[in-house]
Amino acid sequence: MTNLSDFTPNEMMTIAAARVLSNDDVCFVGIGAPSAACNVARLTHAPDITLIYESGTIGTAPNVLPLSIGDGELCETAVTTVSVPEMFRYWLQGGRISIGFLGAAQLDRFGNINTTVIGDYHKPKVRLPGGGGAPEIATSCRQVFITMKQATRGMVEKIDFYTSFGHGEGGNHRERLGITTKGPTLLITDLAIWKPDPETKEFTVVSMHRGVTRDRVQETCGWKVRFSDSLEETPPPSELELTTLRELQARTERAHGGKKGK
């Protein structure tokens, strides 16, 4: 039996992210929490959602979570697999993707993301992997959802590098750069759900997960947090959601843990 009172903040984050996806969405999926959320959605309320990974797999339905964006199962279960130039030109740049799902190493209050360097670009304190598909995912998908665990080192006043553009300095900054898509419209963390203010575009907490306090949200965030006047509590995971996520993770563990190594 699934113990419903015993879910972790990470499980809540993944399930809250899964809930916002629908059957009609065409979703560009990143590895990690976004991938888990998209597949929980597909295995619960959104069986017809189209999941796309940047390796070229379109309409994929993996039985376990991929370890990389190019695992073989993504291709085996996809409706079609296209080349990487086609993926970025026809499908992403062509405007076919409704939701881009991104994670972040550093995030600011306007949804700008850094996954490139900590410190100066030319003399980095830490060289991170870089943007991959993110710079164009952030501007070509109709909207962007971000998911990350809250921590002051991740949610910062000022990011060290603009890997991908959110709302810039806020307001209509995207429009001023000629970007016609909505950008980040949702931030889902292990503690709360955030939405941008319609005018300033600053992320505002609209819902806190069960048991989370305003102080806890503020302590784990590097900027002064704004809370919505109509703050809600995120409904806790249902038995179906939690069981689906846990079974998916157990299958994933078995599949990736059993392979031989050198």
- Which residues have a catalytic role annotated? 54
Query: Rule CB under 8 A: is residue 20 a binding residue for another protein?
Result: no
Binding to another protein by residue 177, rule CB under 8 A?
Answer: yes
Residues touching another protein: how many (CB under 8 A)?
57
Least distance in Å: CB of 84 to another protein?
Answer: 5
| Distance of alpha carbon 100 from alpha carbon 144, whole angstroms | 5
The nearer residue to another protein, 47 or 72, going by C-beta atoms, is 72
108 binds another protein (CB under 8 A): no
Tokens representing 91 are 């499908």
CA–CA separation, 36 vs 12, rounded Å?
12
Q: Is 164 in the site for another protein (CB under 8 A)?
A: yes
In 10 A of CB 257, how many CB atoms? 7
When asked if residue 262 is in the footprint of another protein (CB under 8 A), the reply is yes
DSSP 50: E
> In the bound complex, what is the minimum distance in angstroms from residue 8's beta carbon to another protein?
21
Using the 8-state DSSP alphabet, how is residue 259 labeled?
A: S
Q: Out of 9, 75, 98, 149, point to the residue binding another protein (CB under 8 A).
A: 75
Residue from the set 55, 106, 234, 244 that interacts with another protein by CB under 8 A: 55
Question: b/e per residue, 59-87, with b = 16+ CB within 10 A?
Answer: ebbbebbbeebebebbbeebeebbeeeeb
Which position among 81, 200, 228, 249 is part of the footprint of another protein (CB under 8 A)?
Answer: 81
Contact with another protein (CB under 8 A) among 9, 98, 179, 249: 179
Contact status: 165 vs another protein (CB under 8 A): yes
168 contributes a contact to another protein by CB under 8 A? yes
| Cα–Cα distance measured from residue 54 to residue 190, given in angstroms and rounded to the nearest whole number | 25
Closer residue to another protein, CB minimum distance, 10 or 90: 90
Member of 28, 88, 91, 101 binding another protein (CB under 8 A): 88
In sequence order, which residues have a C-beta less than 8 Å from that of residue 158 and are 6 or more positions away?
108
Give the range of 89-97, 148-156, 189-197, 204-212 binding another protein by CB under 8 A.
89-97
Residue 12 CA, chain-centre distance (Å), reads 14
Asked if 133 is part of the footprint of another protein (rule: CB under 8 A), the reply reads yes
Torsion sign, CA atoms 56, 52, 204, 239 = negative
DSSP notation for 169-194: TSTTHHHHTT--S--EEEEEESSEEE
Token pair 């998908």 is at which residue?
Answer: 141
Asked whether position 175 contacts another protein by CB under 8 A, the answer is no
Chain positions contacting another protein, by CB under 8 A = 31, 54-57, 66-72, 74-75, 81, 83-85, 87-89, 92-93, 116, 121-122, 124, 126-136, 138-140, 161-165, 168, 173-174, 177-179, 256, 259-262
